[in-house]
Structure 1
Amino acid sequence: MKLQQAKRHQVKLRLGLSGASGFGKSYSALLLAFGITNDWSKIAVIDTENGSASLYSHLGNYNVLSLLEPFSPERYIEAIKTCENASIEVIIIDSISHEWSGKGGCLQIHEQLGGRFQDWAKLTPRHTAFIDAILQSKCHVITTVRKKIDYSMDRDSNGKTKVIKHGLKDITREGFSYELTVDFEVVNESHLVKASKDRTGLFMDKPEFVINASTGKKLIAWCNEGISIDQIKNEIENCKSIELLKHIYSKYSTVQNEIKPLIIERKQRLESLDTQLINTKDIVESPNTLPNGINSK
């Protein structure tokens, strides 16, 4: 455990778009994605909304992966991996609500397990793995979330029970928005959005606006500030000792998930090189013995 100076690294976006049905979440997500990549072919939509992603095919030649029920966490994870393996740059998951409340989603799985509180011990790790697949993806990820009206049963001053309307609530497990870089809420049918969370500082406390490609361009410019992953990869590749590798891994703590495979690969190559040097040294120090047990005499 040690303190280290804060450094800004280039990051992958984790964006959220929430809103009621018909408010333009899918369309806004596509415009955001194009602003980020400037290349429709590098965008993929994981579509759980009955083919709605294809309604906007006139925009460009983006990719669609239709995800049908059951909407288990594992099937979402498989879809994300499929997009990553296809060298996609921006993944749009439209929507993540089905993973929570759709057929074969977490709530239904919990009910099938018995619906008891202790059954969450089996299910929570599966949902967490789905969230981790989003957070640890090598792609930029945009998620859309459905909203529903939230009610509760309360007692008034006379002790009578009445239904209280609390507004709209995201249809996913509570707390997901905390993981996002920016969380946009689409507030009406005119596609106006506001930022309910914004780590970039670009949109918080600003007037409501309509998302377009320039929104994505602003976000990718913010992402690309600081040290790039390519620079870190080059530093790893040129590393000459395992001790220095450990230092690099510790230094770039915010991108450890991305650089860990590179660190391991370089470590294995250094260890292999050390083994070869030891074997060569043994041969030099024992001149009467040649490789493969051949005697020099």
Structure 2
Amino acid sequence: MKLNPATQKKQKLRLSLEGQTYTGKTLSALLVSYGLAKDWSKTAIIDTEHHSASFYNWLGPFNTIQISAPYRTEKYIDAIDLCESAGIEVIIVDSISPEWVGEGGILDVYCSTPGSRAQKRNNAFPQHHAFMSYLLESTAHIITTVRVSGSRLEQDLAYRHNFHAVVSLDQNQEASVVKDRTGILKGECPCKLSLEIGSKLLQWCNQGEDPVSPALQGQIDSCRNHEELQRLMISLDMEDMSLMSAFTRRRLELDGIVSFRQIDNSGPKHPPMTVV
């Protein structure tokens, strides 16, 4: 433990869009994603909404992964892994509501677990925490959508803690700020989200120092197996979550899934897929 000067580091965006039906969550997420990636083939939507994302294929050749019930957390995690292994730069999770309230989601697991409330919590909530950690540690920019029913948010309210910015969309598809650590959205909202706003958010993400020094990156790259990678992680101050993406990239490389230094992002890496 030591005192360090406060410095901003380059990072990947964590943005969430909340709203009722027909507030433009999916379209808004796609527009922001293009401002972040500048290439539709580098965007993927994890679609839990019965292929609804495909209605926007006129925008460009973005990728989709379909998730259907039961909405277990491991399905989301597998889909995120698939996106990362394909070199996707912006992952849109549309929506994270079924993970909480859907069939097979966290509340379903809680209610179906026999025993006391403590036993129910111990069975259900660690899965949710693992999912949120996966969103936080992803090597890609993450945009999520969350459904609102009446005044009720269809997700654990504490999820907002993990995000740089959270906005609420109204029936005119205009965004208002719920939370904004970037300072960008506070200056723009109320507004309709756009690729221009995505570009401004990208500039914010790219400000500051590289999260991983060249020397540390060399140590990470030199790890020849998971055991060496784990030992290196233990030796470091992993309170700095910006380091996690570098370790995640190396883990994927060790698994033989992808080499991020050689990946070709000139086009879609796979047809639309269904995680079952």
Q: Quick check: TM above 0.5?
A: yes
Structure 1 residue 232: Cα displacement: 2.0
Q: Tell me which amino acid in the other structure corresponds to 2:244.
A: N
Structure 1 residue 234: Cα displacement: 5.3
Aligned 8 A contact 1:17 1:184 in 2? yes
Aligned 8 A contact 1:249 1:263 in 2? no
1:222 to 193, 201, 204: 204
The answer to whether the aligner puts 1:2 opposite 2:2 as a matched pair is yes
Greater relative contact order (CA < 8 Å, ≥ 6 in sequence): 2
Which residue pairs with 1:127 in the alignment?
Answer: 128
Deviations 1:201-255 (A, max 9, x none): 11227541011100100000000001225x624554289xxxxx89x94599342
Structure 1 residue 187: Cα displacement: 1.8
**Counterpart Cα distance in 1 of 2:131 and 2:4:** 31
Structure 1 residue 169: Cα displacement: 2.5
- Residues 111 and 79 of structure 1, relative CA distance in 2, 3 Å threshold: same
The answer to whether the aligner puts 1:192 opposite 2:174 as a matched pair is yes
Structure 2 unmatched ranges of 5 or more: 221-231, 252-276
Aligned 8 A contact 1:106 1:127 in 2? yes
**Counterpart Cα distance in 1 of 2:115 and 2:219:** 54
Matched pairs, number = 239
Which residue pairs with 1:175 in the alignment?
Answer: 158
Structure 1 residue 74: Cα displacement: 1.1
Structure 1 unmatched ranges of 5 or more: 150-167, 240-244, 265-297
Which residue pairs with 2:145 in the alignment?
Answer: 144
Structure 1 residue 139: Cα displacement: 0.4
Aligned 8 A contact 1:49 1:95 in 2? yes
Aligned 8 A contact 2:90 2:141 in 1? yes
Q: How does 1:190-269 map to 2 (within 5 A)?
A: 190-204=172-186, 207-229=189-211, 232-233=213-214, 236-237=217-218, 249-250=236-237, 253-260=240-247
**Counterpart Cα distance in 2 of 1:130 and 1:104:** 14
Work out the percentage of aligned pairs sharing the same amino acid: 35
Structure 1 residue 260: Cα displacement: 4.4
Larger Rg: 1
Using the size of structure 2 for normalisation, the TM-score is 0.80
**Counterpart Cα distance in 1 of 2:210 and 2:19:** 33
Deviations 1:120-160 (A, max 9, x none): 111111111111110000000000000012xxxxxxxxxxx
SS in 2 for 1:228: coil
**Counterpart Cα distance in 1 of 2:93 and 2:249:** 28
- Residues 187 and 263 of structure 1, relative CA distance in 2, 3 Å threshold: closer
Deviations 1:252-282 (A, max 9, x none): 9342323447899xxxxxxxxxxxxxxxxxx
- Residues 262 and 177 of structure 1, relative CA distance in 2, 3 Å threshold: closer
SS in 1 for 2:184: coil
SS in 2 for 1:54: helix
Deviations 1:153-172 (A, max 9, x none): xxxxxxxxxxxxxxx23101
